[in-house]
C-alpha cells in the first residue's frame, strides 16, 4: 500500500490533532509545573498564550526577522509576567482560593485590555513566507508551517524532558514536587525554584502563543478556551508530571480533532470521561501532583 492509500481525511485530521496536542503541551507543561512545584493555582495562564498570539499578529510580518522579534518579545514578556505573578501570589501562599480569585481577576482585566487595544474581532497571523505553502501528502495538501510547528514543538518536548529529568535544575524541581518540606530542610532554595518555574511557565505560554498563532489565532475568548484545555491536560496528566502532560495533551488534541470528525458532538463527553477516570484511578489527591 502506497502513501496515497495510507493518507485519507482521517489521517490528515489526526495529524492536525498531533499539532494541536503538541501546542497544548507547550502551554500546559508550564502550568503543570506551576501547580506542582510552586503550588500556585493560576487562572491567568491562557492570558499569557493570548498575549503571545497578539504579539505574533503585531510583529510577525511574513519574514524571519518579524518572527524573531516576536519570539524575543515573547521571552521578555513571559519572564516579566511570570516574575510578576510570583510576586503577586507570594502573600497568598497556602491560600489556593485566594490565588484563584486573584489570578482570575488578572485574566479578566487583561481580556478587557486586549479587546480595547486589538478589537473584538478574530485576527489571522501569516506564517513566514518561506513556510507559507503546502506539501503533498498523498492526494492531500498540508500546510508546511504546521509541519514545521510539529517539528519545533517536538524539539521543545525533548528539551523539557531533558531539563526536568536529567539536569541539576530538574532534580531540584522533582524534589520540590515530591516533598517540598524535605527539599527545604535539605537546603534547597525552594522559593527560588518556585519563582524560576513561574518565570519558565510564563515564557513557555507566551512563546506558544507566538508559534501557535497560526493554529489557534488571537481572538476574544481564546484565553478561556486555552485555560480550560490546559487544566484538563494538567488533571489528566498529573500535576508536576511532564510525561503525563505530554500524553494527556496528545490525547486531548486527538479528541478535539479526530474525535470530533468521527463522533461529532461527543468530544466534551469524552474529555469529561477522561478526567473522571483520571481522578478516580489516581491514588493521590487530585492536586497533590506526582514527581516529574
* CATH number for the domain that contains residue 116: 1.10.3470
Residue 288 lies in a domain: no
| Residue 103: how many other CB atoms lie within 10 Å | 21
Quote the pLDDT of residue 179.
65
Please indicate, yes or no, if residue 99 is contained in any of the structural domains: yes
Q: What is the reported pLDDT for 280? A: 67
Decide: 25 and 205 in contact? Cβ < 8 Å.
Answer: no
Q: How many domains does the chain have?
A: 1
Residue 103 lies in a domain: yes
Specify the pLDDT at position 190: 67
Angle between helices 222-237 and 267-281 in degrees, nearest 10: 40
Listed residue (147, 154, 162, 202) closest to 25, CA to CA? 154
- Residue 291 located in a structural domain: no
| pLDDT number for residue 287 | 40
- Structural domain includes residue 101: yes
Q: What is the 3-state secondary structure (H, E, C) of 208-240?
A: HHHHCCCCCCCCCCHHHHHHHHHHHHHHHHCCC
Cα–Cα distance between 59 and 55 in angstroms, integer?
6
Contacts of residue 261, defined as CB under 8 A and 6 or more positions apart, other chains included, come to 9, 10, 13
CB distance 24 to 252 below 8 Å: yes
In this predicted structure, what is the pLDDT of residue 285? 43
Q: Is residue 287 part of a domain?
A: no
Is there a domain that residue 172 lies in? yes
Residue given cell 522579534 in the structure block: 69
Residues 217 and 124: their CA atoms lie apart, in Å, by 6
What pLDDT does residue 89 have?
83
| Domain of residue 130, residue span | 3-281
pLDDT at site 205: 94
Confidence (pLDDT) at 5: 59
Task: Output the pTM of the full model.
Answer: 0.86
In order along its 292 residues, the chain shows pLDDT tens digits of: 455 557 777 888 899 999 999 999 999 998 888 887 777 888 999 999 999 999 999 998 888 898 999 999 999 999 999 998 888 888 887 788 888 888 999 899 999 999 999 988 998 888 888 888 888 887 788 899 999 999 999 999 999 889 888 887 777 777 766 666 676 677 667 677 778 888 999 999 999 999 999 889 999 999 999 999 998 898 888 877 888 899 999 998 988 888 877 777 776 677 777 677 766 665 444 444 444 5
* pLDDT, position 218: 93
Residues facing 142 on adjacent strands: 135
At 290 the pLDDT is: 47
Amino acid at each position: 500500500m502506497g502513501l496515497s492509500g495510507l493518507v485519507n481525511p482521517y489521517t490528515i485530521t489526526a495529524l492536525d490533532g498531533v499539532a494541536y496536542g503538541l501546542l497544548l503541551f507547550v502551554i500546559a507543561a508550564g502550568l503543570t509545573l506551576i501547580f506542582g512545584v510552586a503550588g500556585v493555582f493560576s487562572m491567568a495562564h491562557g492570558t499569557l498564550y493570548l498575549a503571545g498570539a497578539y504579539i505574533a499578529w503585531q510583529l510577525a510580518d511574513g519574514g524571519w526577522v518579524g518572527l524573531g522579534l516576536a519570539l524575543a518579545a515573547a521571552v521578555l514578556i513571559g519572564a516579566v509576567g511570570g516574575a510578576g505573578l510570583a510576586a503577586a501570589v507570594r502573600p497568598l501562599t497556602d491560600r489556593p482560593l485566594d490565588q484563584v480569585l486573584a489570578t482570575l481577576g488578572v485574566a479578566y482585566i487583561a481580556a478587557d485590555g486586549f479587546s480595547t487595544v486589538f478589537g473584538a474581532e478574530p485576527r489571522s497571523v501569516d506564517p513566514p513566507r518561506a513556510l507559507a505553502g503546502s506539501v503533498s501528502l498523498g492526494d492531500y495538501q498540508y500546510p508546511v508551517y504546521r509541519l514545521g510547528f510539529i517539528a519545533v514543538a517536538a524539539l521543545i518536548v525533548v528539551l523539557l524532558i531533558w531539563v526536568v529529568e536529567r539536569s541539576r535544575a530538574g532534580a531540584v524541581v522533582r524534589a520540590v514536587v515530591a516533598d517540598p518540606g524535605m527539599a527545604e530542610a535539605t537546603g534547597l532554595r525552594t522559593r527560588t525554584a518556585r519563582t524560576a518555574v513561574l518565570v519558565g511557565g510564563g515564557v513557555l505560554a507566551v512563546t506558544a502563543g507566538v508559534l501557535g498563532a497560526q493554529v489557534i489565532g488571537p481572538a476574544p475568548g481564546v484565553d478561556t478556551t486555552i485555560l480550560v484545555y490546559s487544566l484538563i491536560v494538567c488533571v489528566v496528566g498529573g500535576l508536576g508530571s511532564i510525561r503525563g502532560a505530554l500524553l494527556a495533551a496528545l490525547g486531548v488534541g486527538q479528541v478535539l480533532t479526530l474525535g470530533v470528525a468521527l463522533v461529532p458532538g461527543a468530544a466534551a463527553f469524552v474529555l469529561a470521561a477522561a478526567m473522571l477516570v483520571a481522578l478516580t484511578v489516581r491514588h493521590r489527591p487530585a492536586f497533590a501532583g506526582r514527581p516529574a
